[in-house]
Amino acid sequence: MITRRTIRIVATGRYDGQTEWYESFASNETMSSARAFAVALLGRGTGRCLDIGCGTGRALHLLAERGWRVVGTDVSADQLEVAGRRARDVAHLVRADAHTLPFVDSDFDAAISVFTHTDFDDLRAAFTEAFRVLRPGSRFVYLGVHPCFASPFVARAAAADVDDAVALLRPGYRQPGWKVLPPDPQSVKVRARVGINHLPLSNFLNAFIGAGFSISRVEEPGGDDPPLFLAVAAVKPNGPREPREHDQVGVEPDALHRLTVEPRQEQRTSPQPRGAAPGTSRRSCPT
């Protein structure tokens, strides 16, 4: 059911005017099999399934083939127009911002989102909305580019010049946020078209946990080494949301990031007391 309260588009349709590029970019074999993998991970069902950030609708038929009654949602009118041509017969399409979905609580029996986490402004907010619109006990599957191995700071092609290297790392992994190149309508690079909102792995996984999901399975599909994609299957638990350990103790993520791991000091060997287990001494270890 669509509610009136949230029919407002907050995010910008960065993909408006980009559908020709996106269709050629998103139709390759690697991305198609990743999408099929995500749908297989979600599995079959007969209820209502929401595809969040459905784009040009490439997963909609796959979901319908597995029995779901499909609703696709995206913030970009242009992307939805292509999705409509592709899948109007199998899916209901709704233009909406993933951060403020126009659906009532517990409206869906499953949800999926593919290749979107680097497009959302606030992943935890988007996943919190996914959580809200899901019925307790239902599944959510996300598949996206691997936060560690498929980001702007990972150079794969450049590694060809280095013996035994498959990827080179540039600085930047720890800095979340938008990575953009000057807009260029001729470029095939995502950063020059729509930008990439990079998240380190910890932020990515904490977005599921913070939204309230229980992670049930994690996969790195595909033959690439290192992997290009990361897929997470999660469940909205039955019953009221329990406070997580970190909700209670109020751990400050910034404080954690400031912690450094000191290199181990060379330990002086002191005589072991008789009967002591190897590796234990009376002096307590500073670590």
**Which residues here bind ligand SAM, judged by CB under 6 A?**
11, 13, 15, 26, 35, 53-55, 58-59, 74-76, 79, 97-99, 114-116, 119-120
Q: How many Å apart are CA 127 and CA 99, to the nearest integer? A: 8
Cβ at position 185, least distance to ligand SAM in Å: 17
Closer residue to ligand SAM, CB minimum distance, 11 or 159: 11
Determine the distance from the C-alpha atom of residue 64 to the mean position of all C-alpha atoms in its chain, rounded to a whole number: 22
Closer residue to ligand SAM, CB minimum distance, 16 or 224: 16
Cβ at position 69, least distance to ligand SAM in Å: 18
Closer residue to ligand SAM, CB minimum distance, 118 or 138: 118
Closer residue to ligand SAM, CB minimum distance, 54 or 207: 54
Cβ at position 132, least distance to ligand SAM in Å: 15
Closer residue to ligand SAM, CB minimum distance, 113 or 206: 113
Q: To the nearest 10°, report the CA torsion of 187, 27, 12, 105.
A: -160
For residues 146-174, one letter each, b for 16 or more C-beta atoms within 10 angstroms of the residue's C-beta and e for the rest, the string is bbbbbbbebeeeeeeeeeeeebeeeeebe
Question: In sequence order, what are the beta bridge partners of 93?
Answer: 72
Helix (H) or strand (E) holding 219: strand 214-219
Cβ at position 33, least distance to ligand SAM in Å: 12
Q: How many Å apart are CA 58 and CA 192, to the nearest integer? A: 23
Cβ at position 245, least distance to ligand SAM in Å: 30
Q: How many Å apart are CA 60 and CA 70, to the nearest integer? A: 7
Closest residue by beta carbon to ligand SAM: 55
Closer residue to ligand SAM, CB minimum distance, 73 or 206: 73
For residues 11-27, one letter each, b for 16 or more C-beta atoms within 10 angstroms of the residue's C-beta and e for the rest, the string is bebebeebbebbeeebe
Cβ at position 62, least distance to ligand SAM in Å: 10
